[in-house]
Structure 1
Amino acid sequence: MATLQSGTIEAIKKNQAPLLAQWTANLEASGATRNLKDQDLKQQTTDFLQLIVSGLNDGNGLNVASAGWDDIRLFLEKLSRSRALLGHDSSQTANFILSLKGPLFALLQNHYQDSPAQLAEQVWEISELLDTLGMHTIRTFQKSREEVIKRQQEELLELSTPVVKLWDGVLALPMIGTLDSQRTQVVMESLLQRIVETGSEIAIIDITGVPTVDTLVAQHLLKTVTAIRLMGADCIISGVRPQIAQTIVHLGLDLQGVVTKANLADALKLALTRLGMTISKAN
């Protein structure tokens, strides 16, 4: 099995400065430096090349899954996460490594110009090493990107279900869009937390912005109402339009004694009445 020769490793060690210069130029030409500060790019390229040299110099072989390559794998994982947060795609991230191939191949071509067989062998080994590291980077990037997307989705869900304090002791949760299992969980957590924080006695769930109500949506609403009641608060559902009322009747859904109102104003009026308050026009 072919391996990197000591002459290859020495050539890389002695020519790090020109390698870094050409590598950086390749990265800039390919657009892989978008949103990157010059100082950060310089630090990352320098660190990566030094890790390559250290890994090869310590006799770790070319198996990047071995313990001897732990540092470079950790470096690439951090790099991938940072690239995902910057909005780079997987090709830009992988190109950070693959752009090093050109400068390394040129270096080896000059070093082994009198030995075509050795040149071919060493170019192949270097290419295999960088390809493997590139694949590791892509896998890590995809995982990091999925985590970023998941977090953004959770944040959007939270933003789309704001809990509003309408009055002392009265909270309102206006629902807009489709109500699914994941969103129901976010609704429950947000609303229950606000009930604890404010000591509110009544929570109004306004479904004016919910396009349709089917069996699944009704079940989600009932779960939320049950959770609210377990916290010692009452719940009123507002925004029950004629179409939704007809759908509920047609589906034979039982809202189990849940108080419903046609609009948020009526629900607030009822909530205030339950709190022993009345609203009157000023004379």
Structure 2
Amino acid sequence: MTTNKQGTIEKIFVHQKEIIDEWLHEQFAALSARQDLISELDLRRQSTEFLALFTPACSTDNLTDITQSEWKPVLDFLGSVSRSRAIQGFSPSETATFVFSLKQPLFARLRQEVGADAVLLANELWNTTVLIDKLGLYTTEVYQKSREEIIKHQQAEMLELSTPVVKLWEGILAVPLIGTLDSVRTQVVMENLLQSIVDTGSSFAIVDITGVPTVDTMVAQHLLKTVSAAKLMGANCIISGIRPQIAESMVHLGLEFSDVVTKATLADALVYALRQMGFVINKPA
């Protein structure tokens, strides 16, 4: 742990206004292409708030061990800034620039304060470099975690949107599938379908695979799991949208759907379900 017994770095913050102005200049120079994401007013506010927390932390004997309690308010604030910038669309390097761009103003003030003492200046510059580097790396770590959380949330939302459960008729539900069907998506399909069966009391569920490009052994197993889950909930499941190419592939793979009602189109599946419910379907004259 590097200590701050000389107390030099906190002394330079008597020039806080000048430091903020110089810091803002450095930040806008680095973020010249992204000024549409944050205004000068917001950037000044964030910079002022940061220095208000950073200054007392620098006044302690512990200068570079940011795991200590005196640095917690600083880390909390940087975490908040990093998460907000991840949402706004800043890159990791642009986010870290918020901290790294503070080096130039601090170095300039340190040279003015202790420039006559080369040894002390070297020590203070090194301590400040270590401190700023650690804080900058911390912002990058928080940014990365925030982006991962955002991506996971977006993926979950896309799965929900890509597996809608549609009520076609009283007692008849349909799940139109488009794209590749994997284990994660199958789980979402089953959960949405089973919950909809419970909510609507439906007795028929149509799984339409017209938009599924290929059906291999794994996809077939996923479909059968969905059908079995629906049956356990008391709903008859129909698979529709089996095109000739898919039917041929299923035969070659030796896939068995003997216990499952299959139809060529969603319309055929709906007609079948309606007839099973006692409706009479007549073609127009």
TM-score by length of 2: 0.94
Q: Distance in 2 between matches of 1:224 and 1:117?
A: 73
Residue 24 of structure 2 aligns with which residue? 24
Whether 2:183 is the aligned partner of 1:178: answer no
**CA positional deviation for 1:53:** 0.9
C-alpha deviations, 1:71-118, integer Å up to 9, x for none? 112222222111111111100010010011111111111111212221
Counterpart among 158, 161, 185 of residue 159 in structure 1: 161
Q: Distance in 2 between matches of 1:54 and 1:36?
A: 27
Q: Is the 8 A contact 1:27 1:33 kept in 2?
A: no
SS at match of 2:208: strand
SS at match of 2:213: coil
Residue type at the aligned position of 1:7: T
Q: Is the 8 A contact 2:3 2:62 kept in 1?
A: no
Sequence identity percentage: 52
Question: In the superposition, relative to structure 1, how do residues 152 and 2 fare at CA in structure 2: closer, same or farther (>3 Å)?
Answer: closer
Q: Distance in 1 between matches of 2:36 and 2:111?
A: 31
C-alpha deviations, 1:196-222, integer Å up to 9, x for none? 222211111100111110110011111
Residue type at the aligned position of 1:104: L
Residue 8 of structure 1 aligns with which residue? 9
C-alpha deviations, 1:107-156, integer Å up to 9, x for none? 11111121222112111111110000111111111111111111111111
Question: In the superposition, relative to structure 1, how do residues 106 and 72 fare at CA in structure 2: closer, same or farther (>3 Å)?
Answer: same
Residue 99 of structure 1 aligns with which residue? 101
Farther off after superposition, 147-156 or 25-34: 25-34
Q: Distance in 2 between matches of 1:44 and 1:144?
A: 19
Q: Distance in 1 between matches of 2:194 and 2:46?
A: 45
C-alpha deviations, 1:175-231, integer Å up to 9, x for none? 111101111111112222222222211111100111110110011111111111111
Residue type at the aligned position of 1:8: I
**CA positional deviation for 1:43:** 2.3
Whether 2:86 is the aligned partner of 1:84: answer yes
Residue type at the aligned position of 1:36: I
SS at match of 1:15: helix
Summarize the alignment of residues 212-231 of structure 1 with structure 2, pairs less than 5 Å apart.
212-231=214-233
Q: How many residues in Structure 1 have an aligned counterpart in Structure 2?
A: 282
Q: Distance in 2 between matches of 1:43 and 1:230?
A: 58
Residue 58 of structure 2 aligns with which residue? 56
State the Cα RMSD in Å. 1.7
Summarize the alignment of residues 1-283 of structure 1 with structure 2, pairs less than 5 Å apart.
3-4=3-4, 5-12=6-13, 14-31=14-31, 33-281=35-283
